[in-house]
Amino acid sequence: MLEDSPSDAKLIQWELKKSNVVFITNVVETTSDFINGLNSFQPDAILCDHSLPGFNSMDALVLAKRYAPDIPFILVTGSVSEEYAVSSIKAGADDYILKTNLARLPVAIDAALKQKKAEHRLRKSEEQFQDTIDKMIDGVQIIGFDWRYRYVNDTVANQGKLLKTDMLGFTMMEKYPGIEKTAMFELLSSCMRDRELREIENEFTFPDGSSGWFKLSIQPAPEGILILSRDITDKKIAMGLLEEQNRQLRKINAELDRFVYSASHEMRAPLCTVLGLNTLAKKQQNETMRQDLFMKIDTCIARLDHIIHEIVHFSRNSRMDIAKELINFNKLYDESVLYCHDIAGADKVTTSLQVQGDTSFYSDRGRLEIVIRNVLSNAIKYYDSRHAKPYVKIYVHISATEARIEISDNGIGIHDKHVEDIFKMFYRVSEAKPGTGLGLYIVKEIVEKLSGTIRVQSSVGAGTTFFIQLPNEIAAVEN
Ligand code: ADP
């Protein structure tokens, strides 16, 4: 109770008691006592006389609004002009009572308390409602006819990578320059114009260059349009992956079809030869000729075995995950040369390796081994016997991003008309040398699996060079 007259204070207390109001009072008359009282006494209602020593009821009202906005403030005054009473109600006072009519005070307090409680409940429920809308999965925004953001919830601000305060009151074009040229904006305009629901799944590019997918439902609203937006970027990425997997599966299936057809054909040829040779061997009396037939059977079986080996490589490449290991090119080279030492001509061909670049190179060791072995064994196998010094030179250049591998020989070379085809499944230029026609097909598959490239340059009589480029996975390993 802000009251400087003890008798008036008594009068007010008496009036309240008379009406059976249960209360205690804290009577103050100075600004500081008033503020302290708001904190320590924590009143349920403030009764305020008009003129007090050093300040008046308007000053008290300002303080009450600042420090205790939820507590009813009732002006209890001896005499005051009607204008003053109205302006204090406008300033936030809940009621005013003339001291000559104190009988109305209990009812006024009761009404003001109820009013404040109702306001408090309403504010709480508005806050809860606001909180619920802010935390919604969907973004909610209202755009005015002037394209200004009238309302945005937290989700919209997050989706739009902005703060609410950065959006409200600004136009969409100010916040996202160039938005007016997009198909999405065209749809917003059509809803604004035709007042009809529009829906779209849209990839939105942000000013920083990043992008995200959003499903938008655009509806007419009294202020302009209301947009509900859901971030579907993860769903789109998952769908993209699924589509890619589908594409891969279809490719593998088609390959498998071709493979089964070609492989059965390729494998049946040596098998039929083995059967024929076997029949001949059974009848053959001459031991030397019989041994010769067995040798031929061995060759056919070795060819079959080789085909099966390559089929396994092919199958592993399409199914197994890519490893990222430190590659030691010198070791890889030594092992590959050893692997090739049985090939006819290996003793005549000089091989060499030169590695440049002091960066570590990371890739799939097993796959790289198959690539090097295949290309190296071809370079030896197709050496030019008329050449005085047949060679195979391997040159590797490593950088932080890739390895460039060149494998050159001065062998028989490949005719232009075959160069395009040598990477095809079971493609062989001639039957003069043993082989399956699978090697380079598998090499290409592997290089592509490792996200690299392979090309060939060749001329008959001069030799062949394979250029292989593979990404350095060092960053993937270090992260
Ligand atoms: P193959 O088992 O027949 O060697 P590949 O797929 O490894 O099968 O090679 C396909 C064809 O490409 C070979 O038959 C051969 O004619 C040609 N070829 C590959 N590498 C060389 C090379 N270094 N020099 C000449 N011809 C080559």
Say yes or no: CB of residue 429 within 6 Å of ligand 1. yes
Per-residue pLDDT band for 456 (boundaries 50, 70, 90) equals: very high
Say yes or no: CB of residue 440 within 6 Å of ligand 1. yes
For residue range 301-346, what is the model confidence (pLDDT) as tens digits? Answer: 988 888 888 888 878 887 788 999 999 999 999 999 999 998 999 9
Instruction: Please determine, for residue 410, whether its predicted confidence score (pLDDT) is greater than 80.
Output: yes
State what percent of residues in the chain have pLDDT above 70.
100
Q: What is the mean pLDDT of residues 233-258?
A: 91
Is residue 97 helix, strand or coil? strand
Asked if residues 60 and 93 have their Cβ atoms less than 8 Å apart, the reply is no
Q: Which amino acid is at 396?
A: V
Among 378, 418, 423, 445, name the best residue to mutate to test ligand 1's pocket (greatest count of ligand atoms within 8 A of Cβ).
378
User: Could you tell me which of 105, 107, 109, 17 has the C-alpha nearest to residue 71?
Assistant: 109
Among 436, 440, 456, name the best residue to mutate to test ligand 1's pocket (greatest count of ligand atoms within 8 A of Cβ).
440
Give dist(CA 166, CA 211) in Å, integer: 20
Say yes or no: CB of residue 72 within 6 Å of ligand 1. no
**Whether pTM exceeds 0.75:** no
Burial-class residue 4 by CB neighbours within 10 Å (0-12, 13-18, 19+).
middle
Task: Determine how many CB atoms are found less than 10 A away from the CB of residue 468.
Answer: 24
Say yes or no: CB of residue 349 within 6 Å of ligand 1. no
User: Could you tell me which of 404, 403, 381, 398 has the C-alpha nearest to residue 464?
Assistant: 381
Q: Which two tokens stand for residue 423?
A: 């990477």
Per-residue pLDDT band for 254 (boundaries 50, 70, 90) equals: confident
Give dist(CA 81, CA 98) in Å, integer: 11
Asked if residues 45 and 109 have their Cβ atoms less than 8 Å apart, the reply is yes
* Higher-confidence position of 257 and 28: 28
User: Could you tell me which of 311, 188, 175 has the C-alpha nearest to residue 256?
Assistant: 311
The residue whose CA is least distant from atom 21 of ligand 1 is 378
Give dist(CA 68, CA 116) in Å, integer: 12
Give dist(CA 306, CA 325) in Å, integer: 27
User: Could you tell me which of 273, 255, 276, 284 has the C-alpha nearest to residue 426?
Assistant: 255
Say yes or no: CB of residue 445 within 6 Å of ligand 1. no
Give dist(CA 439, CA 102) in Å, integer: 108
Across-strand partners of 211? Answer: 205
Say yes or no: CB of residue 412 within 6 Å of ligand 1. yes
Q: Which helix (H) or strand (E) holds 311?
A: helix 287-319
Task: Determine how many CB atoms are found less than 10 A away from the CB of residue 462.
Answer: 14
Say yes or no: CB of residue 97 within 6 Å of ligand 1. no
Q: What is the mean pLDDT of residues 85-107?
A: 92
pLDDT on residue 269: 79
Say yes or no: CB of residue 409 within 6 Å of ligand 1. yes
Instruction: Please determine, for residue 259, whether its predicted confidence score (pLDDT) is greater than 80.
Output: no
